[in-house]
């Protein structure tokens, strides 16, 4: 390969994976005076994802395709474009990029698809534009884009506190699998927090996630600990979106399901399984019974 061909090959297409964010436990500790809620949440990133790719361009553009593309606008409001603009503003970079997003994660569904896309865009464009940024500087750009975006920059098991920005990385999770199910209901996060009904200044440290080494022996050990935890947004989400009851019932009825719960502000629910084969079998059964639902199975991490 001559020098020119080498350069062309190096310019090639960059890709990034934007994994779903799963709140295994989500405790609401209190409500702040600015209206936001302080959380204590343990988060995993199963191998279910959107995909982003980009190539150099003089302008910034976005094309969206994939099963959930129709639910999204590809304009300035898209979190991918907002992330790119925030990165340019923070660094003074004037480069462009032609970005493609394959949207496989349901929108406004509690698994942080938009946040994962924003975080993946930040990681990808940092490489494309050869920006030399410390992790802390990238987190500072991610924060204003959404409470979940700094978590999604890590995309590895973590515990997050405060509004989600106070992040502690966790040891690797045990081998386990999950089934994710959404009835295709869209739930707006602010409405779910509002329905929780906490007053500004209401705060109780006793609501935090129970102490643990966060190094579980196996899937059963993880599920036993999860039984002692909750998703505090599950009751208000169920009130706003009654189809969640049917989704949880379907997951709980599956052989091998160790625990079923809502993720984030919903409406996506998950069940934990010890074995990927069992999870795949359960997903196929649910998809067969309810073809209109979105159903996926995947390793819990890795």
Ligand X SMILES: Nc1ncnc2c1ncn2[C@@H]1O[C@H](COP(=O)(O)OP(=O)(O)OP(=O)(O)O)[C@@H](O)[C@H]1O
Ligand Y SMILES: C[C@](O)(CO)[C@H](O)COP(=O)(O)OP(=O)(O)OC[C@H]1O[C@@H](n2ccc(N)nc2=O)[C@H](O)[C@@H]1O
Contact set with ligand Y (CB under 6 A) = 23, 26, 35-37, 39, 41, 112, 115, 146-148, 163-164, 189-190, 193, 264-265
Catalytic residue flag (residue 103) = no
CB 173 within 8 A of CB 45: no
Distance from C-alpha of 53 to C-alpha of 15, rounded to nearest angstrom: 4
CB 112 within 8 A of CB 79: no
Q: Which residues touch 161 (CB under 8 Å, ≥6 apart)?
A: 29, 38, 39, 40, 41, 168
278 binds ligand X (CB under 6 A): no
Rounded to the nearest whole angstrom, what is the least distance from the CB of residue 188 to ligand Y in the complex?
8
Q: How many residues bind ligand X (CB under 6 A)?
A: 19
Rounded to the nearest whole angstrom, what is the least distance from the CB of residue 149 to ligand Y in the complex?
6
80 binds ligand X (CB under 6 A): yes
Catalytic residue flag (residue 285) = no
DSSP letter for each residue of 63-93? EEESTTGGGS--STTSHHHHHHHHHHHHH--
Buried b (16+ CB within 10 A) or exposed e, 115-153: bbbbbbbbbbbbebbebebeeeebbebbbebbbbbbbbb
Residue nearest to ligand X (CB): 114
Q: Among 21, 40, 50, 117, which one carries the catalytic annotation?
A: 21
For ligand X, give the closer residue by CB, 219 or 260: 260
Q: Among 73, 148, 211, 221, which one carries the catalytic annotation?
A: 148
| Span of 77-85, 171-179, 271-279, 281-289 interacting with ligand X by CB under 6 A | 77-85
Choose which of 112, 150, 157, 236 interacts with ligand X (CB under 6 A).
112
Rounded to the nearest whole angstrom, what is the least distance from the CB of residue 209 to ligand X in the complex?
18
Active-site annotation, residues: 21, 148
């Amino acid at each position: 390969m001559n020098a020119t061909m080498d350069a062309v090959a190096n310019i090639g297409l960059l890709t990034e994976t934007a994994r779903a964010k799963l709140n295994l436990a989500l405790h609401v500790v209190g409500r702040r005076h600015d209206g936001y809620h302080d959380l204590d949440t343990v988060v995993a990133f199963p191998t279910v994802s959107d995909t982003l790719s980009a190539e150099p361009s003089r302008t910034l553009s976005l094309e969206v395709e994939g099963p959930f593309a129709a639910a999204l606008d590809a304009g300035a409001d898209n979190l991918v474009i907002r992330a790119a603009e925030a990165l340019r503003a923070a660094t003074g970079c004037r480069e462009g990029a032609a970005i493609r997003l394959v949207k496989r994660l349901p929108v406004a569904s509690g698994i942080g698809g938009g946040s994962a896309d924003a975080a993946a865009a930040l990681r990808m464009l940092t490489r494309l534009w050869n920006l030399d940024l410390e992790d802390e500087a990238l987190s500072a750009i991610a924060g204003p884009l959404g409470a979940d975006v700094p978590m999604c920059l890590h995309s590895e098991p973590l515990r997050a506190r405060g509004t989600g920005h106070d992040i502690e990385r966790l040891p690797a999770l045990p081998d386990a699998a999950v089934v994710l199910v959404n009835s295709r209901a869209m739930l707006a996060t602010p409405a779910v927090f509002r329905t929780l009904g906490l007053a500004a200044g209401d705060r109780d440290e006793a609501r935090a996630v129970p102490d643990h080494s966060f190094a579980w022996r196996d899937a059963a050990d993880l599920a036993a600990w999860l039984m002692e935890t909750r998703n505090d947004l599950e009751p208000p989400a169920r009130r706003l979106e009654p189809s969640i009851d049917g989704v949880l019932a379907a997951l709980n009825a599956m052989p091998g399901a160790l625990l079923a719960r809502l993720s984030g502000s919903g409406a996506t629910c998950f069940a934990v399984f010890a074995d990927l084969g069992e999870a795949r079998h359960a997903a196929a059964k649910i998809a067969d019974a309810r073809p209109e639902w979105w159903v996926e199975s995947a390793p819990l991490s890795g």
